[in-house]
Structure 1
Amino acid sequence: MGNWWSAVEPPPPMVLVPPLFDFPPLAARIRMLESSYNLLFGKLALRCLFDEYFEEAKHFSTRIMLKPIDDPHVDLIATVSGPLNHNPEEKIIGNAQFRWQSDVQDPHTFIDLFVSSTKPILLMRSCAYHIKSGFGVFGIFPVLLRQRLFSEDYGVMGFRYGSPNLSVGATVIPFSHKYDLPKNAWLVSKMGRLTAGVQYEPQCKFFKVGSKDGARYKNLANWSCAIGYGLGSGSPLSPSFNFGLELAKNSKFIASFYQHVVVQRRVKNPLEENEIVGITNYIDFGFELQTRVDNDESSNNIQDSTFQVAASWQANKNFLLKGKVGPLSSSIALAFKSWWKPSFTFSISAIRDRIKGETAIGFGFNVENIREASYQRADPNYVMLTQNKEHLAEGIHWKIGKRPVLQSDVKSGNFDGMPKELRPLDQIL
């Protein structure tokens, strides 16, 4: 009878694992249309870190990303951007993209239509990729243009092969009356933690009549090469580190690194339940240095050396703070996200122009239900993380005191039971 009136056992301690603000990045949805050389070596992550939520000074941007509940194979992205004040020299730009995807879980085979108030007016893009064989074909075709001046205005086609350790491909202009093939080509290989790649991209749209094909390939200004060292699984729930060196077009040397850190801190939110003992935070840091290595006097207006540093901190599911510093300007951005269905994101950024000595504000607003992620609860090692599933938070040893304990020991590597938004993206190099 004594056990009948005994106190109810308290619920087990939990650790909150909030979803990332924007994962996977929108650029990853069309990565099969781009050269792998332009996305690897940490370039995609750095692009998101340096650009996302940093709105242009004295400008606004609005983006709506929706998909119907009855048909998840299609979605629509519409954007409107322009100046905050009335400026007759600047116009409000609007565009929309309608996309059809054959497999909801596989974003590599799709077709989309892009309409815009600027050039091009109507653009069609398509990609077909066979996962088992690794071969794919893609095309970009401007349907409506005000004026077609170059061969690329009639369309570009590409062929590629991808595996976990190799990516090779090329793009050609099928309707060109000249034999300037290929338009670009790339080869990237991964060996353990090292990734090396080379890309051929001619600088001139047209060549002199009678010029030898070998002269174009011998011109070092048409070639770029890069090498990178990377750690991590590629999942946002696992820490990662990327360091890269690139010699671009024999004229610019680029050194960069990007680090994604997953940490845990003590929860001090009175709105949370008592069993919530910790929360996961995401901290990103990136650095990029560009230095000229050529002696081209015609490019004196370009700085010989420039750099930029950026960092971001996602405190919880609702708040994101970012900042970046460069020799010419500095920016800071704050984003708030409400995880309704669809979700709403409001961002404000302040830009300090050191040359003009001015500070300006930019605004952004997003509505989305394309990338769905839920608030997670899991153990500190993220073992068997699934949606809407609770796990014990055993193994967390919180240090007594006011300072939080930062923990990033993620060693499980089991991502099979995770939502597709949080799985690694490196299955295809």
Structure 2
Amino acid sequence: MGNLWSTTKEPPPPMVLVPPLFDFPPLAARTRMLESSYNVLFGKLALRCLFEDYFEEARHFSTRIMLKPIDDPHVDLIATVAGPLDHKPEEKIVGNAQFRWQSDVDDPHTFVDLFVSNTEPILLMRSCAYYQRFGFGAFGIFPVLLKQRVSSKDYGIMGLRYGSSNLSVGATVIPFFVGDEIPKSAWLVSKMGRLTAGVQYEPTFGSKDGAKYKNLANWSCAIGYGLGSGSPLSPSFNFGLELAKNSQFIASFYQHVVVQRRVKNPLEENDIVGITNYIDFGFELQTRIDDDKSSNNLQDSTFQVATSWQANKNFLLKGKVGPLSSSIALAFKSWWKPSFTFSMSAVKDRIKRETAFGFSVRVDNIREASYQRADPNFVMLTPNKEHLAEGIHWKIGKRPVLQSDVNSGNFDGVPKELRPLGKIL
């Protein structure tokens, strides 16, 4: 009876904050079906985001607005304006907009978009249809309005592709141009366990007997080793080696680390004991191997190293170092609806020995994410089950904090923004 009338309540279990990633999924993933899988795999997409996002050009600014209507989530609009901070006659402010219709809200592989700009091309239409059940897809990129059409690519490109979880093969052609560039490009990528290997053919250089496919300079090949599920809640690792155009050797490395740290924030509640942080590290080395340019200057061999740290849902710090310059960027994001992001970067030029700044402003409601306080992937174990806690990071009182389920690939209940991308190679 004493327990029946007792007003004493058990304190709430400790919780771990799991903030969403700043930009996940990346915008480049929405158009990956328009691109060769060879150019996206081997950690290339992740490295591109790490080396480029929020690193603004020195003495330049950029603004980006990404909005979609509440009544129709199948369509969205992205508008950008970028230019120099100090107006120069040789530089002008560039503005463009992109209107997109997507067949499935959660599947970005079938869509149509229209791109307008005050630079070439003035009007560009892109379309892709992919049938995941059969693995086949078709896509096209058509410049509708151009001031002048110089190359064959200005007449448009069409492509066919097949994709599964272990194989991607495809080719592109120029349908409105009579010439010897058939195909315009072709690729074959296969995945075997944790290894991924692929080749790509792009007939850029000619051959003595007219058969461009016999020229090794038109071929590229790569091999990669990768771990991880593709979700920001799960660590990932990618290492790649590439021989591009038979003239350049590229070695790259990318790692996404998920760590937990204690929360010492007086604004948080007492039951909040930890927070998840995301740390990314990338390295890329490019070296020329052809005999035409054997000098050892920076153009023949170069490298870049970058790292980023997301401390919470609001702050992101990035740094990048190369032989010619080094950069640092700080971004602040408020998760309103729509979200608002302000970033500033500093670039130090080692040749000119000067430092310049750039900044950007972004508004986004295309990617919606929530700040998880009691994420189902982080559970508290009682002391009598302590022997099952293989993923313990630290202990709070008598209860350890355990990360579970995500590492085993179970993403049920996880917000769609934090789930892995589609299982299509």
- TM-score normalized with structure 1 length: 0.92
Shift of 1:382: 1.9
Q: Distance in 1 between matches of 2:119 and 2:298?
A: 28
In the alignment, is the contact (CA less than 8 A) between 2:64 and 2:79 conserved in 1?
yes
Q: Distance in 1 between matches of 2:228 and 2:30?
A: 21
In the alignment, is the contact (CA less than 8 A) between 1:123 and 1:140 conserved in 2?
yes
Partner of 1:398: 394
In the alignment, is the contact (CA less than 8 A) between 1:258 and 1:287 conserved in 2?
yes
Tell me the C-alpha RMSD between the 2 structures.
2.2
Q: Are residues 1:329 and 2:325 paired?
A: yes
Partner of 1:65: 66
Partner of 2:90: 89
Distance change >3 Å, CA 180–CA 302, structure 1 → 2:
farther
Distance change >3 Å, CA 300–CA 235, structure 1 → 2:
same
In the alignment, is the contact (CA less than 8 A) between 2:260 and 2:393 conserved in 1?
no
Partner of 2:134: 133
SS of match in other structure, 1:286:
strand
Shift of 1:92: 0.4
Partner of 1:219: 215
Q: Distance in 1 between matches of 2:296 and 2:325?
A: 20
In the alignment, is the contact (CA less than 8 A) between 1:142 and 1:154 conserved in 2?
yes
SS of match in other structure, 2:394:
coil
Alignment of 1:19-418 (within 5 A): 19-204=20-205, 212=209, 215-297=211-293, 303-378=299-374, 382=377, 392=380, 398=394, 411-418=407-414
Counterpart amino acid of 1:188?
Answer: V
In the alignment, is the contact (CA less than 8 A) between 2:380 and 2:402 conserved in 1?
no
Q: Distance in 1 between matches of 2:270 and 2:396?
A: 17
Q: Distance in 1 between matches of 2:361 and 2:404?
A: 32
Cα shift readout 1:18-40 (whole Å, capped 9, x = no counterpart): 00000011000000000000000
Cα shift readout 1:296-354 (whole Å, capped 9, x = no counterpart): 24999871211100000000000000001011100000000000000000000000000
Shift of 1:367: 0.1
SS of match in other structure, 2:307:
strand
Q: Distance in 2 between matches of 1:170 and 1:296?
A: 30
Shift of 1:415: 1.7
SS of match in other structure, 1:152:
helix
Contiguous gaps of at least 5 residues in structure 2: 383-388
Report how many residues are paired: 413
SS of match in other structure, 1:398:
strand
Distance change >3 Å, CA 336–CA 13, structure 1 → 2:
same
Q: Distance in 2 between matches of 1:46 and 1:116?
A: 27
Cα shift readout 1:192-242 (whole Å, capped 9, x = no counterpart): 0000000001224xx69xx755x2111010000000000111111100000
Shift of 1:5: 4.5
Q: Distance in 1 between matches of 2:138 and 2:199?
A: 20
Counterpart amino acid of 2:11?
Answer: P
Distance change >3 Å, CA 8–CA 27, structure 1 → 2:
same
Q: Distance in 1 between matches of 2:74 and 2:366?
A: 11
Shift of 1:11: 1.2
Counterpart amino acid of 2:282?
Answer: G
Q: Distance in 1 between matches of 2:381 and 2:70?
A: 35
Shift of 1:16: 0.5
Cα shift readout 1:258-290 (whole Å, capped 9, x = no counterpart): 000001110111111100010000000000000
Partner of 2:386: none
Counterpart amino acid of 2:337?
Answer: K
Counterpart amino acid of 2:272?
Answer: I
Partner of 1:387: none
Shift of 1:179: 3.1
Moved more, 295-304 or 175-184: 295-304
Moved more, 2-11 or 56-65: 2-11
Shift of 1:150: 1.6
SS of match in other structure, 2:373:
strand
Q: Distance in 1 between matches of 2:11 and 2:220?
A: 61
In the alignment, is the contact (CA less than 8 A) between 1:130 and 1:136 conserved in 2?
yes
Shift of 1:417: 3.0
Shift of 1:422: 1.7
SS of match in other structure, 2:423:
coil
Shift of 1:123: 0.1
SS of match in other structure, 2:234:
coil
Counterpart amino acid of 2:286?
Answer: Q
In the alignment, is the contact (CA less than 8 A) between 2:377 and 2:403 conserved in 1?
no
Partner of 1:386: none
Q: Distance in 2 between matches of 1:299 and 1:407?
A: 51
In the alignment, is the contact (CA less than 8 A) between 1:186 and 1:199 conserved in 2?
yes
In the alignment, is the contact (CA less than 8 A) between 1:283 and 1:313 conserved in 2?
yes
Shift of 1:113: 0.1
In the alignment, is the contact (CA less than 8 A) between 1:75 and 1:99 conserved in 2?
yes
Moved more, 307-316 or 7-16: 7-16
Q: Distance in 1 between matches of 2:340 and 2:393?
A: 36
Q: Distance in 2 between matches of 1:357 and 1:247?
A: 34
SS of match in other structure, 1:179:
coil
- TM-score normalized with structure 2 length: 0.92
Q: Distance in 2 between matches of 1:247 and 1:259?
A: 21
